[in-house]
Structure 1
Amino acid sequence: MSGFGRSAVSYAMPLAALAVAVAVRASGLSMDEGSLNIKIVVGALSSAIMFTTIFVVLEHAEAVARRVGEPYGTLVLTIAVTAIEVSIIVSMMLHGENNPTLARESVFSTVMITSTGVVGTCLTLGGWRHRKQAIVRQGTSAYLAVLVALTVMTLILPTYTRATDPGTFSAAQLGFVSVLSVLLYSGFLFAQTVRHRDDFIEGQAHGVSIRTAPHESVSASALLLLIGLVGIVMLAEQVAASVEDALVTYQVVQADAIVGALIAGLVLMPEAVSAVRAALNNELQRGLNVAMGSACATIGLTIPAVAAASLLTGRGLTLGLPVADTVLLILALFICNVSFSTERTTFLTGLVHIVVFFTYFFLIFIP
């Protein structure tokens, strides 16, 4: 797609996604209504439109990102994708019976997909094309420090608190940890965009051109980006709900883990594509900013949002991970620490991340 949103398809798809999503809702075929077969068909149609729209929205997001520059540009997708995930998780929490582990599975999947799958793909493909790639060690270390603190506080600590059942926080603990998560992420954003902005920017790679779209084109891209994201949120709800209903009907044991991974995979697709493109263009730091920024934003903003929904609705929320998932999470964070400890990476560094990602993916279906 060329022209950053000027083609007919790039204008039409965000509008089409929103129109289809609204039509499905208005027809009464969404979420709780209709037969299982109809919901599966609606889910398949929603998936096809959503996947197409995701790539169109990515073009608009990149146009806006190029206009505002780094590191602000990477925040465009990060905040937008986090808003999508929060909307989907909250709507799924309120869909049907209480599902206390859905938020945990979605957040855990997001961290694992970004820190092993997306980062691994960036390092492997970028390293294979360019042999060695440079990263800004201060920036990646900051990402990792925030990610470690947030994951341990929200996904591991609940298993060991004693105020309530294992894996859960009391209302006071949940509110306290949520506030700390927001404050930490806010402090990170201030450091990234204002106080220590240079730590997250690498020098422009040789041969990489920067295209700046006209102001009118960027304004149109920003509007279409917003419309497309709203459409994607509504369509993703249809897809996730259809999959959840099918898994429950066929009594699949790992239904929560599969749905959580599906939600994470759907909403992360624009960022994953953007990150891999950056790595292939020898802009590895930008790719890591997108991937690791998504992981930090997911915990720093999604957990407080679902915590607020849980406290307001009275629905249970289980955040503590099982032992096997805890081991995988610690392994992923440790490998990130080793990979980011130097200022250059190779394809071998990425292969280590990908191996852990495949292990995580395999254990979703065969725990």
Structure 2
Amino acid sequence: MRGFARSVTSYAMPLAALAMAVAVRASGLSVDEGSLSVRIFVGALSSAIMFTTIFVVLDHAEAVAHRVGEPYGTLVLTFAVTAIEVSIIVSMMLHGDNNPTLARESVFSTVMITSTGVVGMCLTLGGWRHRKQAIVRQGTSAYLAVLVALTVMTLILPTYTRTTDPGTFSAAQLGFVSVLSVLLYASFVFAQTVRHRDDFIEGLAHEASVRTAPHAGISASALLLVIGLIGIVMLAEQVAASVEDALVAYQVTQADSIVGAMIAGLVLLPEAISAIRASLNNELQRGLNVAMGSACATIGLTIPAVAAASLVTGRGLTLGLPEADAVLLILALFICNVSFSNERTTFLTGMVHIVVFFTFVFLIFIP
């Protein structure tokens, strides 16, 4: 009976999320109009459906991932989450007044959440359960090298360019950096999936699970994954816009930082759960592939997409981080470099990441 209920939920929730989003759009109800009680009810219902659908989408994504095998499986969820983030950021950029720092805050939050929060939880919980866990050093080093190059080029370099105001790129600089970001990420995906595939696979345990995975229902899972993601994107846009309007109404000075962190947290929730599950199952490398892959994809794909939207619409885009955030970012990347320099990790390694993550969260509200 419980299995039947779960099966019904897995089919119903993606459809419900999409139906709810379409119904709200078709009714003409927006986050800025309508009675307060109706907006609160619609917001609460949208949030509940969205969060439930996130977990259902995670199950469908993992079913597809186990079918296609590693490292292709981790790319399924990575590309899906990146598509969600790009859609939400662009829609939020076009919502209301121009907020040039929202994309920067969302991307920065994604990198910090993945490299300190998600990685920290994987290392801590996995290390606590299994004492020591092995990683494939070549793969994690490749992730880190790509992440360092992308973050410095897109989030730190704009503060020091001279053509425009500090923190911004000129149109030529923005286009040039965007092309380089896509090129570097495409090269990384090619290395991960074709040229150096073995560097990102931990042992044969996961391959065995892939061979025994059932073939039936994979097409349905893929279709429901796409439907669920579309519904999540549309609902998350409404929820995020409501939060942004509320923060602006109450004159919260850190509105963009809070909304950016909320967007990153929402879209990363499926990947975070997947990565932690893998770590608890003693598949730490797969967990790191999911976490670090999301950070690389966020910068390698989200920044170019947002840059294109900025150039087309003429809305300003500020990418350079303030000094405090830049220090935190460099600290997070340095700790990742130290943690991944060995082939085995313990729970203490993860605790270092978690401490930096808590610092990041604290400074969002008390900068």
> Structure 2-normalised TM-score?
0.97
| Alignment match, 1:161 | 161
Is 1:99 equivalent to 2:81 in the alignment? no
CA distance in 2, matches of 1:174, 1:210: 41
Name the stretch that deviates more: 1-10 or 177-186: 1-10
What is the percent sequence identity of the aligned residues? 89
Change in Cα spacing, 1:36 to 1:90, as seen in structure 2 (3 Å) is farther
Please give the alpha-carbon distance, in whole angstroms, between the structure 1 residues aligned to 2:35 and 2:191: 50
> In structure 2, what is the equivalent of residue 230 of structure 1?
230
Q: Could you say which residue in structure 2 is the equivalent of 1:330?
A: 330
Structure 1: which 5+ runs fail to align?
none
- Residue equivalent to 2:272: 272
**2 CA distance for matches of 1:352 and 1:284?**
17
The residue identity in structure 1 corresponding to 2:12 is A
Per the alignment, residue 147 of structure 1 pairs with 147
User: How many Å separate the matches in 2 of 1:193 and 1:53?
Assistant: 29
* 1:294-319 CA distance string (max 9 Å, x none): 00000000000000000000000000
Alignment length (residue pairs)? 367
Q: Which residue of 2 aligns with 1:48?
A: 48
Does the CA contact (< 8 Å) of 1:136 and 1:201 recur in 2? yes
Task: Please give the residue correspondences for 1:75-224 in structure 2 after superposition, counting only pairs within 5 Å.
Answer: 75-205=75-205, 209-210=209-210, 212-224=212-224
Q: What letter is aligned with 1:145? A: A
Q: Which residue of 2 aligns with 1:287?
A: 287
1:244–1:175 Cα change, 3 Å: same
- In 1, the alpha carbon distance for the partners of 2:11 and 2:64 equals 15
Q: Given that residues 21 and 235 in structure 1 are in contact (C-alpha distance below 8 angstroms), is that contact kept between their aligned partners in structure 2? A: yes
Q: Are the equivalent residues in 2 in contact too, given 1:332–1:356 (CA < 8 A)?
A: yes
What code does the residue aligned with 2:100 have? Answer: P
Of residues 41-50 and 89-98 in structure 1, the stretch that sits farther from structure 2 once superposed is 41-50
Q: Distance in 2 between matches of 1:205 and 1:351?
A: 27
- Does the C-alpha gap of structure 1 residues 220 and 353 become closer, same or farther in structure 2, counting only changes over 3 Å? same
Is the Cα–Cα contact under 8 Å of residues 115 and 295 in structure 2 kept in the other structure? yes
Paired with 1:62 and 1:295, the residues of 2 have a C-alpha distance of 19
Displacement of 1:35 after TM fit? 4.7
Residues 157, 320 of structure 1: 8 Å contact kept: yes
Give the conservation status (yes or no) of the 8 Å contact 1:5–1:11.
Answer: no
Q: Report the residue type matching 1:330 in the other structure.
A: I
